[in-house]
A and B are shown apart, each in its own frame.
Chain A
Amino acid sequence: MPSKTETPSSPTGASGSAASGAQSALVELVGAKKDYPLGRTVVSALRGVDLVVRRGEFVALAGPSGSGKTTLLNLVGCVDVATAGTVRVDGHDTGRLSEKALTQLRLEALGFIFQSFNLIAVLDVFQNIEFPLLLQGKLGKGERAERVRSIVEKVGLTQQMKQRPAELSGGQRQRVAIARALVTRPRLVLADEPTANLDSETGERIIDLMRELNHTEGTTFLFSTHDPKIMTHADRVVHIADGRVLDAAAGHA
């Protein structure tokens, strides 16, 4: 199975040696397994995944339905923990963290973009984007407004600041979601099929926007997709099938 496996553009400029690669690894999965209990049996959603995502990478996760993409993103996103193996995110072994610490890690280091946008219906665009900053509680009112305004400008929604999600198109909602994911300047943004609910043209524009933010902000992206056209935008495509990563090299040509 052919795949596009470019050398990632690392912010440290390092390339080649396994040692420096490991150093700049933002995400590292070693033998990660995930079983779901299903009645009396168990479903093995991931059957031992080894994967490294380096800082600054723009990585696509491809595979058929039920292959384990969402499960893998859940583990990396610290919303679930592996049944076996280790998942290291930003230097933390997630299996060893408490629920509280996982929440904190999600808040401080990660951003999420969802397939169906998942904005908070009762908050307007500005408030939705400001929400993670409020949860962090690190910035004052003025600084928060400044942050929100600059990211809103980047996603091109300056005119829609006071609108509620229900008043926006799908593409606009996903832009809000992107802005919300990026406003805290996370090290890693995870996106589970971010374009699946959009028409292909809008989907491509969304990916372009993500790519652009990947360049300008240096944010690492890991997103899943079914769409081959979307995959072409990635630095690297990780293929997954039946709970296993097909490209064993996981990054190196």
Chain B
Amino acid sequence: MGTFSTLVRMAGRNLVQGGRRVVLLGMAMVLVSMLLVLLDSLAAGLEASMVNSATTLASGHVNVGGFFKVTSGTASPVVADGPKIRAIVEREVPELDYQIDRVRGWARLVSERASFWGGLLGIDVEEERGLRSVLQISEGSFDALKQPDTILLFEQQAKRLEAKVGDTLTISAPTMGGVNNTVDVRVGAIAKDVGFMSAINLFMPKATIRQLYQMKPEATGAVQLYLKNEADASGVMERLRPKLEAEGFRLMDLDPRPFWMKFDTVTGQDWVGQKLDLTTWREEVSFLLWILTGFAALRWLLLGVILLLVVVGIMNTMYMSIRERTREIGTMRAIGMSRGRVLGLFLLEALALGIGASALGAGLGVVIALSVNAAEIKIASDAFMAILMNDQVYLKLTVDNVVFAVALITGISVFAALRPARRAARMRPVGALHQVG
């Protein structure tokens, strides 16, 4: 007890005595911990935005979608019997929070000024809990979509079409039969952009899309499952596959691409009728996952540099300090300090430096991240907005990331101190007695 507190005190004071060398090393470690926290929170923010966008705009945590082929050379994103699948999900997925189904389509949206192709998503306003909580309606109301032949636009879409609430637009789509069908819709709501995907997604009542494609009322595009815990997604999907097969459904092989990239593949396949396609949100946004991968790579690179810097810095500082303190170490050994305690003393110094510097750095990182979030910095570039899937810089701080940064830097500094500390512990007490000069 007493020994330990004295060792701690000695370690602390030795660090203070270390002067500029220790200060420089400490500052480097502060900087590095801060960067680590910021990078991790940026990556977490990015992932959160992506999950958020993906799971509200284009995907559930788990999706049961699929294609229906009337002839082998065509493909429609249709699940013929939605209610049956929903019943199976209800029965087989206790992790389920709630489920919805959306009718899918791909059509041109036309105003008097402009037009563009977009992904049609037929929804039932009553059951779209997640969408309702995420969308920030800037004009009109979400509930306007309870009315038939209405549409919700995102701000960037409205701007492109120069449309406002109440305006009438035309949707024009090729049907299964190859003819172009059209339907007029009234703008019921305009919502703030939700990242990149709000450029192409068009929400409207299910009935409008069914009418456009002349689909049966039980036909839908995909059943989307929202789980209590997003992390269960892969497990639930794997479990659901054999259950659906047991119910007589044919399944497509797992293809880690969003559904709209699969048309060509499916069209080229030699089968007709219904096949289901199970995915998680990751597959549906896989075309964007390179961003996460890129961030992960950057992070590993940074971690490598940090590792090297801290290891070299600590070892160098320790060896110098040990050389300078040869006599002191010899004296303590002569007086009767054991090797283990000498080792402990030097490890404690590294530990104190590691904890102190990394906690300070992580603290700075947290402060910076909070101020960046509070400043609501708008992203000027569309490209960056698309990449970050958000219209402003968002750094998501988690306790895990902060703890990780502190633990990593501290751990590395103690690890780096092992060899020097062992050398100090092996020094012979004789050195203290053999006087110099």
Contact = CB atoms under 8 A, between A and B. Distances in A.
Interface in A78-108: 79-80, 99-100, 103-104, 106-108
Interface in B100-127: none
Interface of A: 70, 73-74, 77, 79-80, 99-100, 103-104, 106-108, 110, 112, 114-116, 118, 120-123, 127, 130-132, 134-137, 141, 144, 180, 192-193
Contacts of B335: 106-107, 112, 131-132, 135, 180
Q: Is the interface of B mostly helix, strand, loop or mixed?
A: helix
Interface in B399-437: 428-430, 432-435
Q: Is the interface of A mostly helix, strand, loop or mixed?
A: helix
A127 B6 contact: yes
A106 B433 contact: no
Interface residues of B, number: 28
Given A114-B432, A118-B432, A132-B336, 7 more contacts: A70-B435, A103-B333, A114-B435, A116-B435, A123-B10, A127-B6, A136-B336
A112 B9 CA distance: 23
B38 to A, nearest CB: 35
Contacts of B434: 70
B432 A137 contact: no
Interface of B: 2-3, 6, 9-10, 13-14, 17, 327-328, 330-339, 341, 428-430, 432-435
A131 to B, nearest CB: 7
A161 to B, nearest CB: 16
Contacts of A135: 3, 335-338, 341
8 closest Cβ contacts across the A-B interface?
Answer: A107-B336, A122-B13, A79-B429, A118-B331, A106-B336, A134-B3, A115-B435, A79-B430
A103, A112, A130, A141, most chain B CB atoms within 10 A: A103
Contacts of A103: 333, 336-339
Contacts of A100: 338
A121 B17 contact: yes
Given A103-B336, A106-B335, A120-B332, A134 B433 contact: no
27 contacts: A70-B433, A77-B334, A77-B433, A79-B333, A79-B429, A79-B433, A107-B335, A107-B336, A108-B336, A112-B331, A112-B334, A114-B435, A118-B327, A118-B330, A121-B328, A122-B9, A123-B9, A127-B6, A130-B6, A131-B6, A132-B335, A135-B3, A135-B341, A136-B336, A137-B2, A141-B2, A193-B435
Contacts of B332: 120, 131
Nearest to B429: A79
B336 A114 contact: no
Nearest to B341: A135
